[in-house]
Chain A
Amino acid sequence: MFNFIIRRLLLLIPVLLVVAVIAFLSTHIMPGDPVIMILGDFAPPEKIAAMRLQLGLDKPLYVQFVIWAQHILCGDMGHSLFLNQPVTQAIIGRVEPTLLLALIGQSLGILIGVPLGILAAVKHRTWIDQGSIGISLIGISMPSFWLALLLIMVFSVRLHILPSSGYIPLAEAGFGTIKYLILPGVTLGFMQSAIIARMTRSSMLDILNQDYIRTARAKGLSEKVVVLRHALRNALIPVVTVIGFSMAVLLGGTWIVETLFNIPGTGALAITAIMRRDYPIIQGSMIFTAGIYVLVNLLVDISYAIINPRIKYG
């Protein structure tokens, strides 16, 4: 087990290196000169040269990368061009709403998606199955921003029961914070439940076709016992992996949903930075998001190995 974790951690190194290269290149391969973009077209040449020196843009690209990567490794992601704040601080200060939103979205997704997927698989090829496939297909086909706007239209504009935007931190509002997270949480949760339901259904179907299920049925066990005791336990193992995969959609979703609902989270920070071309924040946000995704999938892999004894640790 210990070896497995160590090996898995070592495998992270190349992934994180590539992540860093992508985050670096995505803001360095671009048309236009960032210095002129910051200072404007009519800046005096000596000021441009000074700025270029200050940002280290006078060095070759790979040297810039090495210097940049060294800073990142020391926890220094640079300074925002607009916020007058270090990038790390800016991101950490906005983690709370994103974390809560992701938690609500993912919990809703699991609570709706897993039972729906199981039901669909057990009632394979009946209207229940077809209905739940239909709903989850519509769920993954709908743009999240559109669903969010429809929810705002119904619950904020017509019924006046939930706020359409804004956020009050947990420390100030306590449980009142939840009010601001219901609509965005439901938007993300619906998308997640659609993905999770689809994958739970197929993993459950797969398991229902296994030999040991046939054996269980042949022994004369009741369908309830077969489904709940023999199939479900095994089907939940791949669902854990699904939850890891679906994090990608969830994290991407928070970028859009936070912007839409005006929630000051890390996603909204990233989108604002993109609009203003605040490169240090863009790079920081990319590394942050990819880092979370990689970390969650690492935890998923490890817990997967713990739950599933068939996985070899070697």
Chain B
Amino acid sequence: MPSSIPASSTAEEACSLDRFKKMIKSFGKNRYMAIGGTLIAIFMSLALFAPWLARCDPLAIDPVNRLHPPSFAHWMGTDELGRDVYSRVVFGSRTSIQIGFLVVFLSTALGLITGLAAGYFKRVDAIVMRILDGLMAFPDIIIAVTLAAVWGSGKLTLVLAMVTAYFPRMTRTVRAAAINVCDLEYVESAKSIGCTNFYIIRQYILPNSLSPIIVQAAFIFAAAVLSEAALSFLGVGIKPPTPSWGGMVSQGRTYLTIAPWVIVFPGIAIAMAVLGLNLLGDGLRDHMDPRLQF
């Protein structure tokens, strides 16, 4: 008789089953973050340990072994100058990471200043938002390409061009978060006891706006890696022979028909790094503040 099982035990069982299901679900939800984290860890360690991971000098030219297909000696084949594609992909991660970090750091700094000012001081808001509306009317890649080309080559100009393209996103995020926090009662109470604006921003607004800022930073990092590749591909980014993933695809496209490995591997590297950052951003957003899911 099935009903002979005590009721309490079924309930308990159902409860534990429920909990188990929930755990699986949350695991499934965070699995993206886990995959993203793993990809980022690989990406970071490639950059950190590049000299040990690379098997050859990424700049060493070997004209005898031009455009060799992947083999045991050259895991990802060789390019048009006989350079080891694998070593160049490994060292290319340094370029992407350096530029990505700088872009994230500078656009976060700029976004914080402008966003906090706009979110907290109503009078600044209108001016900042109009400028941002104008900036955001340009597709970001177009701002980056134009400025990088016009300002001339160099890592710094490249970074500044990309910061100009991406900081408006951070400003918007910071501003939205700041406005939300500004309406809360503790900010009002802080104002009423005579705290200075600077103190309120530092002690209340900033810490409470942190999670969307971190999420946005992950997405800007992803966008920066992707657009560094696009700029280098168009020839206005990192100049050869410095290994850069976008540059490798750009130089390899001439040999597309006879040596596809020259473009396939750097392309996979770009896609994986950006995928990892996007996954991390998505995961962080879900994890830190489920309300931000839209």
Decide if A and B are genuine partners: yes
Binding site for B on A (CB under 8 A): 14-19, 21-22, 26-27, 30-32, 125, 130, 133, 137-138, 140-146, 149-150, 152-153, 157, 202-203, 205-206, 248-249, 251-253, 255-256, 259, 270-271, 274-275, 277, 282, 286, 289-290, 293-294
Is B270 among interface residues, defined by CB-CB distance under 8 A? yes
**For the complex, is B113 an interface residue (Cβ under 8 Å from A)?**
no
Known: A149-B263, A153-B260. 10 other contacts (CB 8 A): A18-B135, A133-B32, A138-B271, A141-B278, A145-B250, A149-B267, A252-B142, A275-B235, A277-B149, A293-B139
Contacts of B279 in A (CB 8 A): 137
Tell me which residues across on chain B come within 8 A of A293, comparing CB atoms: 137-139
Report whether A256 and B234 are in contact in the complex, using a CB–CB cutoff of 8 Å: yes
A30-B151, A141-B222, A282-B146 known; A19-B137 Cβ under 8 A: yes
A-chain residues with CB within 8 Å of residue B267 when the two chains form the complex: 142-143, 146, 149-150
Task: Give 22 CB contacts A-B under 8 Å.
Answer: A14-B134, A22-B138, A31-B152, A125-B25, A137-B275, A137-B279, A141-B278, A142-B270, A142-B274, A149-B256, A150-B264, A150-B267, A153-B256, A157-B256, A206-B294, A251-B139, A252-B139, A253-B141, A255-B142, A255-B145, A256-B234, A294-B137
CB <8 Å contact, B249 and A277: no
CB distance from B119 to the nearest CB of A (A): 19
A274-B149 contact in complex given A17-B134, A289-B138, C-beta closer than 8 Å:
yes
B216 to chain A, nearest CB (A): 16
Sorted nearest first, the 6 A-B pairs with minimum C-beta distance are A18-B134, A252-B139, A146-B267, A252-B141, A141-B275, A141-B274
A142-B271, A157-B256, A274-B150 known; A14+B130 contact, CB < 8 A: yes
Are B149 and A275 interface neighbours, CB within 8 A? Answer: yes
A26/B150 in contact, CB under 8 A: yes
Which of B150, B270, B293 makes the CB contact (< 8 A) with A202?
Answer: B293
Residue of A whose beta carbon sits closest to that of B222? A141
Name the A residues within 8 Å of B236 (CB-CB).
Answer: 274
Q: Say yes or no: B142 contacts A15, CB within 8 Å.
A: no
Report chain A residues within 8 Å CB of B174: none
- Judged by a CB distance under 8 angstroms, whether B110 is at the interface is no
* Residues on the B chain within 8 Å of A18, using CB: 130-131, 133-135, 137
B170 to chain A, nearest CB (A): 17
Residues of B close to A143: CB separation below 8 A: 226, 229-230, 233, 246, 249, 267, 270-271, 274
Given contacts A143-B246, A146-B270, A157-B256, contact A125 B28 (CB under 8 A): yes
Query: How many A-B pairs fall under 8 Å by CB?
Result: 144
Binding site for A on B (CB under 8 A): 25, 28, 32, 130-131, 133-143, 145-147, 149-152, 222, 226, 229-230, 233-236, 246, 249-250, 253, 256-257, 260, 263-264, 267, 270-272, 274-275, 278-279, 282, 293-294
Q: Bound state CA distance, A91 and B32, in angstroms?
A: 44
Known: A143-B229, A149-B249. A255 touches B141 (CB 8 A): yes
Contacts of B235 in A (CB 8 A): 275
Contact A271 B145 (CB under 8 A): yes
Query: Which chain B residue lies CB-closest to A134?
Result: B32
B152 touches A30 (CB 8 A): yes
CA distance A16 to B138 in the complex (A): 11
Interface SS of chain B: helix, strand, loop or mixed?
Answer: helix
Cα separation A255 to B270 with both chains bound (whole Å): 20
CA distance A253 to B142 in the complex (A): 9
| Contact between chains at A286 and B270 (CB < 8 Å) | no
Residue A30 contacts which of B150, B229, B257 (CB distance < 8 angstroms)?
B150
Check B257–A157 contact: CB distance below 8 A. Answer: yes
The interface residues of chain B lying within 8 Å CB-to-CB of A149 are 249, 253, 256, 263, 267
A146 lies within 8 A of B271 (CB): yes
B142, B146, B149, B271: which contacts A141 (Cβ < 8 A)?
B271
A146 & B263 in contact (Cβ 8 Å cutoff): yes
CB neighbours of B274 from chain A (8 A)? 141-143
- List chain B residues, Cβ under 8 A from A140: 278
**What is the bound-complex CA distance between A268 and B278, given in angstroms?**
29
B138 touches A286 (CB 8 A): yes
Q: Shortest distance in angstroms between B100's beta carbon and chain A's nearest beta carbon?
A: 14
Whether A141 touches B226, Cβ cut-off 8 Å, given contacts A15-B134, A146-B271, is yes
Q: Known interface pairs A30-B150, A138-B275. Does A290 touch B137 (Cβ–Cβ under 8 Å)?
A: yes
Closest A residue by C-beta to B274: A141
A145 touches B249 (CB 8 A): yes
Which residues of chain B are near A290, meaning CB under 8 Å? 134, 137-138
Task: Collect the chain A residues with CB atoms within 8 Å of residue B147's CB.
Answer: 26
Contact of A248 with B150 in the complex, beta carbons under 8 Å = no
Question: Is A248 a contact of B230 with CB atoms below 8 Å?
Answer: no
User: What is the minimal beta-carbon distance from B145 to any residue of chain A, in angstroms?
Assistant: 6
* B146 contacts A26, C-beta separation under 8 Å: yes
Task: Give the complex CA separation of A130 and B270 in angstroms.
Answer: 22
Return chain A residues, CB-CB under 8 Å to B133.
Answer: 14-15, 18
For residue A175, give the distance in angstroms from its CB to the closest CB of chain B: 28
**A259 vs B233: C-alpha distance in the bound complex, in angstroms?**
11
Given the interface pairs A143-B270, A146-B271, A274-B149, the reply to whether A256 lies near B139 with Cβ below 8 Å is no
Q: CA–CA, A286 to B279, complex, Å? A: 32
Q: CA of A137 to CA of B272 in the docked complex: distance in angstroms? A: 11
Chain B neighbourhood of A294, CB < 8 A: 137
- A144 CB to nearest B CB, Å: 8
